[in-house]
Amino acid sequence: MKVKAAVFYRPQQPLAVEELDLEEPRAGEVLVRVAACGVCHSDLHFLDGLVPLPSPCVLGHEAAGVVERVGEGVTYVQPGDHVILSFAPACGRCSYCEVGRPNLCTYGGRAMAAGTMLDGTTRLSRDGQPVYHEAAVAGFATHAVVPEASVVKIREDMPLDRAALIGCGVMTGVGAAINTAKVQPGSDVAVIGCGGVGLNVIQGAALAGAARIIAVDLLDHKLELARQFGATDTVNASREEPVTAVRRLSAGGVDYAFEVIGRPETIRQAFDMARRGGMAIVVGLSPSGSHVSLPANIFLMEKTITGSAYGGARPRVDMPRLVELYMAGKLKLDELISRVYPLERINEAFEALRQGEVARSVISFL
């Protein structure tokens, strides 16, 4: 079938909105009509050339839609089901999948790096040449073929544009707080970077009952949003040194400090903000090849530094729970959507993200 999609050819060049061919789903795959796909900073890393990506490639990894057809052997969904797309393809059989950590799946990781389905091939093509799929989702397109393991069935009264946000930003952020850090009630938290993902770390920490949540960003309007999402204190790092400020506000350091930007300097800041026995959690992806240096002896103070990949997601457990929280009025999603764009204006949406104008923009196909 023909689909309309936003195609990445090379860094520093706008995405091209064009017609591509999409093959039918093969065995164990699902064809989804995309309803909405959020515009996340990870895709901007690709556009800016900070992280390599096979090309040409259809970007977009924060999507939801409706199942249109299923390939042979698919039993989990049927046409008409509403689904969120997980951006971490999982094989279901490797040791990581077996122990309940599908976000670290060996074969999923390979497919993501290669820009393919789990079998190493693409379903997208242009003039007979392969076009790659970001994260086996490729959500900036009218339709997507994805692995069965990448769809998460949700209730049909859940608005699909809100559901899309759960596919990346909400799962990554809330999951970093709840699954990775396991934030304890009454604890102190700092979050560096209050964009679409950082705001969700803040609301995850608030859901977990953190007493103090200190938001750090360079932009005052992001810090105002952070308060809406549960921050109790804010630090503008363009005006004051953030480590000193967080230590002052938290009587010496926080229990959990999250880095949600992707820069070695801010990873170091997060580590330095954590108190003795505290934890720094790195969510951001830094430019390929970068390193962080840490004082060697501080580990005797039982400080921990850890990464969080997709908020430790077990998509079919965690995402329906996030849907339930939204439907119960306990999870903010409406407030995350700053702007809605048609696919044709996707480059404007990325420019607004680069300029720090939005919490999240959504490309809507509805």
Tokens of 205: 């920490």
Q: Catalytic: 94?
A: no
Closest distance of CB 56 from ligand COD, Å:
21
CA angle 141, 286, 220 (to 5 degrees): 85
Distances in Å between the Cα of 237 and the Cα atoms of 13, 186, 263, 319, 366 are 31, 25, 14, 33, 39
82 noted as active-site residue: no
Q: Which of 37, 57, 97, 168 is catalytic?
A: 168
Q: What is the nearest approach in angstroms of Zn ion to the Cβ of residue 148?
A: 13
By the rule CB under 6 A, 60 interacts with ligand COD: no
Helices (H), the chain: 41-47, 95-98, 106-114, 160-165, 171-175, 198-207, 220-228, 242-249, 264-273, 315-327, 346-354
To the query of whether residue 61 is one of the catalytic residues in this protein, the response is yes
Q: Give the torsion sign (CA, 112, 115, 117, 119).
A: negative
Using CA atoms, how far apart are residues 318 and 126, in angstroms rounded to an integer?
A: 36
Using CB under 6 A, which of 118, 283, 323, 333 touches ligand COD? 283
In angstroms, give the least distance from the CB of 158 to ligand COD.
Answer: 21
Q: Note whether 107 and 118 are within 8 A (CB).
A: yes
Q: Which residues bind Zn ion (CB under 5 A)?
A: 40, 42, 90-91, 94, 97, 105, 168
| By the rule CB under 6 A, 353 interacts with ligand COD | yes
Residue 257 binding ligand COD, by CB under 6 A = no
- The sign of the dihedral angle between the CA atoms of 62, 68, 71, 73 is positive
* Contact residue for ligand COD among 147, 175, 193, 312 (CB under 6 A): 193
Closer of 22 and 331 to ligand COD (Cβ): 331
Catalytic residues, which ones?
40, 42, 45, 61, 168
Residues near ligand COD (CB under 6 A) are 40-42, 168, 172, 192-198, 216-219, 222, 237, 260-262, 266, 283-285, 310, 353, 356
